[in-house]
């Protein structure tokens, strides 16, 4: 939910501005950022309170990610090998 995402982001933003962040994916292909940079330039978090963040995220009207029901449990297991795969799916998928 946008509310949970906001709370997770706030935990990251509590670190020192110099703390480096290595995103798993970035729409612009950035491989590294810092807490300070994200506070300043990220339009989804820069100066937004929770209500504004939630409204902004909901306005994007994003579809549910196709593999979210597999990805969340896998992430909870730290990417463990026992994650069920869909028929025909290889490990690299």
Is residue 83 in some structural domain? no
Q: What is the pLDDT, as a whole number, of residue 56?
A: 93
Is residue 86 in some structural domain? no
What tokens were used for 89?
């799916």
Is residue 55 in some structural domain? yes
Is residue 81 in some structural domain? no
Please work out, in degrees rounded to the nearest 5, the angle formed at the alpha carbon of residue 27 by the alpha carbons of 23 and 29.
65
Is residue 93 in some structural domain? no
Is residue 11 in some structural domain? yes
93: pLDDT confidence band, cut at 50, 70 and 90?
very low
Number of compact structural domains in the chain:
1
- DSSP H stretches of helix in 22-88: 35-41, 50-59, 68-76
Is residue 77 in some structural domain? no
Domain containing 18 equals 2-62
Is residue 75 in some structural domain? no
C-alpha gyration radius of the chain: 16
Mind listing the pLDDT tens digit for each residue in 21-77? 998 777 777 889 999 999 998 888 888 899 999 999 999 988 888 888 888 887 777
């Amino acid at each position: 939910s946008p509310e949970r995402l906001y709370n997770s982001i706030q935990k990251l933003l509590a670190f020192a501005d110099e703390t480096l962040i290595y995103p798993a994916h970035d729409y612009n292909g950035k491989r590294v950022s810092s807490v300070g940079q994200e506070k300043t330039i990220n339009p989804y978090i820069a100066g937004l309170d929770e209500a504004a963040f939630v409204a902004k995220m909901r306005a994007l009207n994003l579809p549910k990610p196709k593999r979210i029901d597999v990805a969340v449990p896998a992430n909870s297991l730290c990417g463990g090998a026992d994650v069920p795969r869909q028929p025909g799916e290889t490990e690299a998928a």
